[in-house]
Structure 1
Amino acid sequence: MPEVIFNGPAGRLEGRYQPGKEKNAPIAIILHPHPQFGGTMNNQIIYQLFYMFQERGFTTLRFNFRSIGRSQGEFDHGSGELSDAAAALDWVQSLHPDSKNCWVAGYSFGAWIGMQLLMRRPEIEGFISVAPQPNTYDFSFLAPCPSSGLIIHGSADRVAPEKDVNGLVEKLKLQKGILITQKMVPDANHFFTNKIDELIGECEDYLDRRLNGELVPDAAPKKLK
């Protein structure tokens, strides 16, 4: 897949990019874990999510947040990284103006950034949040959450305890017009040690069902003409 360098808010950003075969292929942006705790775009979960979307015809991008790899800038505690993600989506959209739909997938810190991004970008129609950390990061911005998506986590995750993730999911499930799907990977820790295949299998099943028109909200709001 092509290695790419594109302009971000704090300098150049390094990524890996694979265009879809169809001119109007949907876009998928994949966001990696915390930059200060070893997170990069080459994380195995990020790598696998990238190929999951690519194999289903998406135009797909994963990239290093500022300060990681060849990406310039300094860690900015989430604010700058959100700007990086928005710049990454802008860059892909500039290459694919016929693409109308987008998905965002993120793992851990990247899940937090991804869900902030979908609040800003109405074209994001679906999300996958792997091991989000509502005990560490503030998710109160999801009011209301504009898109349906998957929240998936491990039952043995001590970094993002099950009760905290359940609390986030319950809040989101109160909203009408979207459908939040929650999946638990049994005995998986925050890093999904020896459980990555199970994790990706659940994500693939969810994405395939969405692409087949399943998992539609019961009470979707009527669009004004």
Structure 2
Amino acid sequence: MLIKTTKKLIGYAGSVDYAIEWPEHKILGWALILHPHPLYGGNRNNKVITTISRECLRQGIVAIRPNFRGVGDSDGFFDNGVGETHDMSALMHQIIDVYPELSELPCFLAGFSFGSAVAAQLYSKLYDENKSANIRCLMLIGSAVQRFQFSEIHLPNKTIIIHGETDEIVPFDEMLDWARPKSIPIIMIPSCSHFFHGKLLLLREMVSIYLKSSII
């Protein structure tokens, strides 16, 4: 049986509310999955976030879904990605302390929309601190990294963007202009909106393929 618990750790603005789910078979890694914009209804139960989480669990990866500051039971107020990045950095360090069985396992970062920007900045922060070695891959879903960038971006070799062709929030061409000079591989889902309406199964298949290639 899958085990799901809701707990709190401490971020820079106070407590961070998160859900953690454990797979029913051998644990191969853990994933931090970050939700879309808090001021537009984004939270850890967003359907894109839960779709990614379910696929992680199916592949033996512990799924951790925090609520950003000001969302759910997380303290603080929206900080345009800056405070959220620092909160997630603090969360990651505490996760290893609270769940030492994860410390030697690979980590997978994923973010949707605003969450993709926090995920990319989080990796960059850990990279600058020489603490990114265990991060196996970065998945940017409906990427909005360029809209919330506040410092230099570093990306792991295994970075992928999954984006809808008809994304009405972050147009495909806008995302491509940011990704092109960085040579980031892109999976474009035809006739797909920002929220992957009617395309969640296809999104899950793409996430599945990328996770499998990253676990090896």
TM-score by length of 1: 0.83
Judged with a 3 Å threshold, the aligned counterparts in structure 2 of structure 1 residues 203 and 169 are, in CA distance, closer, same or farther, namely same
Mark the runs of 5 or more structure 1 residues left unpaired by the alignment: 174-179, 213-225
User: Are 1:101 and 1:124, in contact at CA under 8 Å, matched by a contact in 2?
Assistant: yes
Give the superposition deviation at 1:96: 2.3
User: Are 2:116 and 2:145, in contact at CA under 8 Å, matched by a contact in 1?
Assistant: no
Judged with a 3 Å threshold, the aligned counterparts in structure 2 of structure 1 residues 10 and 45 are, in CA distance, closer, same or farther, namely same
Give the superposition deviation at 1:49: 0.9
Mark the runs of 5 or more structure 2 residues left unpaired by the alignment: 127-131
Instruction: Determine whether 1:111 maps to 2:116.
Output: yes
SS at match of 2:155: coil
From 72, 75, 78, give the equivalent of 2:75: 72
| Identity among equivalent pairs (%) | 28
Residue in structure 1 matched with residue 18 of structure 2 by the alignment? 15
User: Are 2:121 and 2:149, in contact at CA under 8 Å, matched by a contact in 1?
Assistant: no
From 196, 199, 206, give the equivalent of 1:202: 206
SS at match of 1:2: strand
SS at match of 1:194: coil
TM-score by length of 2: 0.86
User: Are 1:40 and 1:64, in contact at CA under 8 Å, matched by a contact in 2?
Assistant: yes
Superposition RMSD in Å: 1.9
How many angstroms apart in 2 are the aligned matches of 1:32 and 1:124? 19
Judged with a 3 Å threshold, the aligned counterparts in structure 2 of structure 1 residues 2 and 52 are, in CA distance, closer, same or farther, namely same
Give the superposition deviation at 1:76: 1.1
Residue in structure 1 matched with residue 188 of structure 2 by the alignment? 184
How many angstroms apart in 1 are the aligned matches of 2:89 and 2:149? 19
Give the superposition deviation at 1:211: 2.4
Residue in structure 2 matched with residue 152 of structure 1 by the alignment? 162
Judged with a 3 Å threshold, the aligned counterparts in structure 2 of structure 1 residues 89 and 135 are, in CA distance, closer, same or farther, namely closer
Greater radius of gyration (CA): 1
- Once the two structures are superposed, the pairs formed by residues 91-170 of structure 1 within 5 Å of their partners are 91-94=94-97, 95-96=99-100, 98-121=103-126, 122=132, 123-134=134-145, 136-138=147-149, 141-142=152-153, 144-170=154-180
- Once the two structures are superposed, the pairs formed by residues 14-93 of structure 1 within 5 Å of their partners are 14-19=17-22, 22=26, 25-93=28-96
Say how many residue pairs are matched.
204
* Higher normalized contact order (CA 8 Å, seq sep 6+, divided by chain length): 2
Specify which structure has the higher proportion of helix. Answer: 2
Instruction: Determine whether 1:211 maps to 2:215.
Output: yes
Q: Deviations over 1:33-56 (max 9, x none)?
A: 000010000001111111211221
